[in-house]
């Protein structure tokens, strides 16, 4: 075998090697090690006690685990049912040919992605503050004339006062809505890019045919556009769900103790982190991690089934 041929044979391995080495070192080995870790109670490298499946059973019996799971599901639902429609609406808006300043809008909507999650979290923690936060000040200014209008009347009890608005505890007991709104600001533009790319591949011929057949904008969207972008939409839904289940930085930066009051903003990864690095129970954290992996694998399988069904149809 000539050296030239050997080097050509070696080349793909060399290209793959940097990723492979990092993947093995920082993903595969820790992943494998997390299995025995989840089956033991450890403290430091020298102290370890095998506990079998106790950590998994403990998680299933732990109300905080279920609170974290419920919050994470609610956040994921917020992502899918609020964020993605907003992203799609923005994409449809920017996909219009006659729109002036399309590039500027794209930049505006996408720009939150450029600042990073931690920065967005810090910013949101200021914006959502009680008394002096921008959101509460805006809400107070909005309700003030209405409240003055109904003052002394029967409707007064129904319109909150500006003082009540200023005291809205977004970061404490309204933690989950605050997280959903921040994520909306952060990711709506990002997901919009996927939808925009998909929309630009929708067949113009089909749209024009539908129009000639008398289909209105809603029917064209429902019967032509939506089926055409379905693979991308399913993919974006899966990405959003996975991203939602990995939610950590935003609550960690935004909320008091990273969870808000009464665990209102406790997410599954935050609970994993707190169990591992604030309670020092790495075994329990590993068990939660595996349970999270199983849930995400379930979503991935569901996505494949939906995609396959769509393709067959």
Partner 1 sequence: MADPKRQRDVPQWVHAFSPGAWCIALLAVLSSALLAVLPESRGDVDATMWASAKPHYDIYFPIVEQWNDEPDAFRVDVQLLSRQVMDRRMIGGFLGGVPVADLIESERSTVSLAFAGPLEAVGFLDLTDRMKADGLLDRINPPSLSPWTYEGRIFGIPHDVHPVLLGYRADLIEAAGISLEGVETWDDLFEALRPLQADQDGNGVPDRHVLSLWDSSSDIINTLLLQAGGGPFLPDGTLAIDRPLNARLIAEMTSWMVGPDRVAADVPDFSPGGNKLKAQGAALCFLMPDWMCDIWEEQIPQLSGKMRLMPLPAWEPGGRRTSVWGGSMLGISREAENQEELWAFAKRLYTSDDLSREIYREGAIITPIVELWDDPIFDEPDPYFGGQAKGRLYIDLAREVPARPATPYFTHGRTALQQAVSRLKSWAESREVYDAESLLPKAEELLADAHEEVARIMRRNAFHRPDPVPGS
Cα separation, 308 vs 313, whole angstroms? 9
Cα separation, 114 vs 186, whole angstroms? 9
Minimum gap (Å) between residue 301 Cβ and partner 1: 31
Asked if 111 interacts with partner 1 (CB under 8 A), we say no
Cα separation, 250 vs 112, whole angstroms? 13
Contact with partner 1 (CB under 8 A): which of 64, 70, 102, 106? Answer: 64
- Residue 120 in contact with residue 112, Cβ under 8 Å? yes
User: Per-residue contact track with partner 1, 116 to 155, x per CB under 8 A?
Assistant: -------------xxxx-----------------------
Asked if 30 interacts with partner 1 (CB under 8 A), we say no
Contact with partner 1 (CB under 8 A): which of 28, 29, 149, 279? Answer: 279
Stretch that binds partner 1, among 89-97, 169-177, 200-208, 239-247 (CB under 8 A): 169-177
Cα separation, 89 vs 83, whole angstroms? 10
Stretch that binds partner 1, among 21-29, 50-58, 93-101, 210-218 (CB under 8 A): 50-58
DSSP code per residue over 88-133: HHHHHHHT-TT-TTHHHHHHHHHTHHHH-HHHHHHHHHHHT-TTT-
Asked if 248 interacts with partner 1 (CB under 8 A), we say no
Secondary structure class of 46 (helix, strand, coil): coil
Asked if 256 interacts with partner 1 (CB under 8 A), we say yes
Secondary structure class of 35 (helix, strand, coil): helix
Asked if 44 interacts with partner 1 (CB under 8 A), we say yes
Asked if 5 interacts with partner 1 (CB under 8 A), we say no
The CA–CA distances, whole Å, from 300 to 33, 191, 295 equal 24, 18, 9
CB nearer to partner 1: pick between 48 and 95: 48
Task: Give contact residues for partner 1 (rule: CB under 8 A).
Answer: 2-4, 6-7, 10, 40-51, 54-55, 58, 61-64, 129-132, 161-163, 167, 169, 172-173, 256-257, 261-263, 277-282, 284
């Amino acid at each position: 075998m000539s050296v030239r041929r050997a080097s050509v044979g070696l080349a793909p391995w060399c290209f793959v090697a940097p990723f492979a080495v990092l993947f093995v070192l920082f993903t595969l080995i820790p992943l494998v090690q997390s299995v025995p870790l989840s089956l033991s109670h450890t403290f430091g490298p020298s102290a370890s006690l095998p506990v079998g499946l106790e950590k998994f059973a403990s998680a299933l019996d732990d109300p905080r685990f279920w609170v974290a799971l419920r919050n994470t599901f609610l956040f994921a639902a917020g992502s899918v049912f609020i964020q993605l429609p907003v992203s799609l609406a923005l994409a449809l808006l920017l996909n219009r040919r006659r729109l002036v300043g399309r590039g500027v809008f794209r930049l505006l909507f996408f720009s939150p992605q450029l600042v990073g999650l931690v920065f967005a979290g810090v910013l949101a923690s200021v914006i959502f503050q009680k008394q002096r936060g921008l959101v509460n000040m805006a809400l107070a200014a909005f309700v003030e004339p209405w409240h003055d209008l109904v003052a002394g009347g029967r409707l007064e009890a129904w319109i909150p006062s500006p003082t009540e608005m200023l005291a809205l505890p977004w970061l404490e007991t309204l933690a989950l809505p605050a997280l959903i709104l921040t994520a909306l600001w952060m990711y709506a533009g990002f997901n919009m890019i996927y939808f925009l790319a998909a929309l630009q591949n929708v067949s113009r011929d089909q749209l024009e045919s539908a129009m000639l057949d008398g289909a209105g904008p809603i029917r064209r969207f429902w019967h032509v556009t939506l089926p055409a972008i379905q693979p991308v939409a399913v993919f974006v839904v899966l990405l959003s769900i996975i991203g939602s289940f990995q939610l950590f930085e935003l609550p960690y930066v935004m909320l008091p103790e990273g969870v808000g009051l009464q665990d209102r903003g406790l997410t599954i990864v935050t609970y994993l982190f707190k169990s591992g690095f604030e309670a020092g129970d790495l075994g329990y954290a590993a068990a939660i991690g595996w349970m999270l992996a199983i849930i995400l694998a379930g979503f991935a399988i569901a996505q494949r089934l939906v995609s396959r069904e769509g393709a067959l149809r």
